[in-house]
Amino acid sequence: MSPSRSPDHRRFEHDQVHHDDDSPLSIHDMTVAYHRKPVLWDIDYAAPQGKLVGIVGPNGAGKSTLIKACLDLVPRASGSVRIYGKSYKEQRRVVGYVPQRESVDWDFPASALDVVTMGRYGRIPWCIPPRKNDKEAALHALNQVGMGDYAFRQISKLSGGQQQRVFLARALVQDARVYFMDEPFAGVDAATEAAIVTLLRELRERGRTVLVVHHDLQTVPEYFDEVLLLNMRIVAAGPTSSVYTEENLQKTYGGRLTLLTEAAEAIARSG
Amino acid sequence: MRVSARSISTVLMGALLLGIVVAAPAGAFGQSDPSTHRSITDTRFDWPTWSSVVRVATLRDHNTRIVVLGTTLLGLAAGLVGTFAYLRRRALMGDALSHATLPGVAAAFLITGEKNLTYLLLGATVTGVLGVLAVLAIRQSSRIREDAAIGIVLSVFFGAGLALMSIVQSTSTGNAAGLNQFIYGKAASMITSDATMIGIVAFVVVTGTILMFKEFRIVCFDQDFAASMGRSVVLIDLLMMGFVVLTTVIGLQAVGLILIVALLIIPAAAARFWTDDLKAMTMFAGTIGAMSGWIGASFSALLPKMPTGAIIVLTAGILFLFSMVFALRRGILPEAVRRIRLRRRIALQHLLRAMAEIEERTGKPTPIDSAELVNMRSWTQRDLRRLTNRAKGAGLLTRKSWTELELTKLGRTHAQRVLRNHRLWETYLIEHADIAPSHVDRDADEIEHVLSEELIDELERALEAGQDIPPSPHDDTPDTARTMP
């Protein structure tokens, strides 16, 4: 879907939403507002199956909000979201989520294993404590991210990178088909960064789709097959090789300056 | 669960000791003859007799048993649910709630005209919940923040309650006298039916909290993640606040509405010092709450003029102070001991490294003159003497003569490992962190002592280092300007 569709086109389509049932995530005409101030405008996007998708944009572009709106964590002012053709409510079991590391209090009384076990809570009924096989799954996931030795360590005694890996392990035990990760690379050491990249590629090999909010522009082409450039609206989306261009980045990050540059170019052309 | 039995028994022992310390003066005073008049007014404090202390402590009277059981269960419930209110940062909400119960109590009395506890507490629940809803409404619909909203609701509802109470006092015919106990708490006025009700409600709260443990835990830690898995955060919060409401309301009679919030916060905060495990923390909090309730109720039976709430909260406060200072996991004292031990270890490692560097320069194991060592660092003669004595005690070196020291075999192994870690870290700083060779010595000085096995492994991998000691990357002549950290 092209980001440069006319408003009229959108209006006509409004009542007969067309979602791609095979897409792990399809967003249709979504607008999100905080306190009536829109932060995301008219988002249309369909993620391809089995790809690593980077969500890139400046601070305040609405990257986290995009993820949260997809997961019903913030209300949508309009539009709809489908996971494999169904609403998020029906598809929770196939979705995994890695929130921003700073969103929780790491001084909370819990061990790494406790936190990872939380990934299984979704499939345990209310009022039933996690069982042995849940703990085993959690331990296995910790081993997968190279944190097996730290299972019983208090989470405040882990480094930032280790905490991030704990969050990833928690998403792994969700055993999802689509993953949403909010800045998993933020503030991590080189070893953790490498471990996360390996993990992402493993997930892709197993046919999972991963959407990752990412802030390091340098590594985007290396890490992601597909990129979604976001600045309150979708500036461009598609395969990294074709979409991740200097021009699109300018549009995403440039803000007012881009207008000036474009105007200057127009003047230069007319002259 | 990963809490050692040792730490649990420590807290129990400590609390027991405290209980004795707290109880002892009362007993001692009780032995002085209460019939000798020291005061001409009737406000004289009636100290209990020793025999009455024993009677209360051994729960001999039926009434004491009832009261103690009731407040102990209350403390247990408050400790458990308080843990989650504390971790969810909702503890002060309990304060708004409890103050908002007063108009309900007064109104219930005005409407029914009798002092039936069930009606009074029903009234308390209604206005208490209204108070919480008012806080939420103010926060949602305006830019006023939660702390201010709580302050507004708390004082306005309490003011309304006081106004209603004065109406009650002026219109009723004397049977309203006991209503004040809801403000300050008076456990001794409990009768069997009251205690039974408290017991039942406390049982509901305790059972509910245990059943909801998993849900409470995840909402307290990461509510977005809980919501993303389809757990209704609103419903879980409602249940949690519901338990807080129940605990507060049944605590009104024993503790009073001004201080009941303390029973929600203090046991949880004290428990946090003892453990990093949530299950253990709730158990500690429940125990501390229950002990506060027990001791407070006992005192209330002995000192009928003292407000029970104050005694219960003071007991909890003493337990909190004890936890803050002595708790093995996060207490101030054990923390300080750990810091001192680390500083000593660092000083010892500095000594060993200095000796290893000298041996490296001379090329063979030799006795080392302590004058030479003094030059290596800014040690005073006294520092050095103390250090060498400690090292000698640990079997790391021997004294060859008055001034000459020599490393033992054990000491040399240690010293060479310390030197190697130092050099590895220096090399890493130069090669990977681009720090000037003239600076790395001091930087490495601070970090080499806290290098864990894992970090050293990583260092070795990063530097592809062998088992030998890398040569010094900088000029290694004695540097008297070097300071001890």
Chosen from A34, A111, A118, A172 to mutate, greatest number of chain B CBs within 10 A: A118
pLDDT tops 60 at residue B109: yes
Residues in chain A predicted with pLDDT less than 50, given as ranges, are 1-16, 256-257, 260-261, 271
DSSP label of B176: T
> Which is nearest to B80 in space by CA: B177, B210, B190, B187?
B210
Q: Which of B10, B57, B59, B73 is nearest to B246 (CA)?
A: B73
| Interface size, chain A vs chain B, as Cβ–Cβ contacts under 8 Å | 80
In this predicted structure, the answer to whether residue B15 has a pLDDT above a threshold of 80 is: no
Q: Which of B2, B3, B139, B224 is the mutation pick for testing A, counting most A CBs within 10 A?
A: B224
For residue B220, the model assigns a pLDDT of 96
For residue range A137-154, list pLDDT tens digits in order. 999 999 999 999 999 999
- Compute φ and ψ for A147, nearest 5 degrees: -120, 15
Domain count, chain A: 1
Q: In the prediction, which pLDDT does A16 show?
A: 47
Residue B311 near chain A (CB below 8 Å):
no
CB A172 within 8 A of CB A128: no
Summarised one tens digit per residue, pLDDT across range B291-301 is 999 988 888 78
Task: At A125, list the tokens.
Answer: 């009924």
Domains of chain B (ranges plus CATH)? 5-27+48-329 (1.10.3470.10), 335-463 (1.10.10.10)
Which residues on A lie below 8 Å from B338 (Cβ)?
Answer: none
What pLDDT, on the 0 to 100 scale, is given for residue B391? 87
Task: Give the orientation angle of helix B332-362 with respect to helix B409-432, to 10 degrees.
Answer: 90
Share of chain A above pLDDT 70, in %: 85
Task: Residue B359: count other Cβ atoms within 10 Å of its Cβ.
Answer: 19
Q: Can you give the pLDDT at residue A52?
A: 96
Residues of B in contact with A72 (CB under 8 A): 227-228
pLDDT for res A14 = 43
**Mutation target among A34, A83, A114, A164 for the B interface, most CBs of B within 10 A:** A114
The secondary structure of residue A44, as a DSSP letter, is E
| For A149, nearest residue in chain B (alpha carbons) | B454
- pLDDT reported for residue B22: 44
CA distance linking residue B263 with residue B76, whole number of Å: 9
Specify if A187 maps to a domain. yes
Is A205 inside any structural domain? yes
Q: Is residue A31 part of a domain?
A: no
Domain of residue A231 covers 49-72+91-253
Residue B133 above 50 pLDDT?
yes
CATH of the domain at A233: 3.40.50.300
Residue A34 domain-assigned (yes or no): no
Does some domain include residue A221? Answer: yes
Nearest CA in chain A to B218: A118
Q: Write out pLDDT tens, residues B311-361.
A: 889 999 999 999 999 998 888 999 899 888 888 888 888 888 888 888 888
User: HEC states along B95-122?
Assistant: HHHHHCHHHHHHHHHHHHCCCCHHHHHH
pLDDT at A11: 42
Interchain proximity A92–B229, CB inside 8 Å: yes
pLDDT at A141: 95
Is A13 part of a structural domain of the chain?
no
CB contact under 8 A, A118 and B215: no
A111: closest chain B residue by CA: B277
CB-based contact, B272 to chain A, within 8 Å: yes
Bridge-based pairing of strands A25-34 and A78-82 is: antiparallel
**Token code pair at residue A171:** 């998403």
Decide if pLDDT at B115 tops 70.
yes
pLDDT for the residue numbered A189: 86
The amino acid at B13: M
Q: Which helix (H) or strand (E) holds A221?
A: helix A220-223
Q: Are the beta carbons of A110 and B221 separated by less than 8 Å? A: yes
Q: What is the mean pLDDT of residues B96-106?
A: 94
Q: Is residue A115 a part of any domain in this protein?
A: yes
**How far is the C-alpha of A32 from the C-alpha of A75, rounded, in Å?**
7
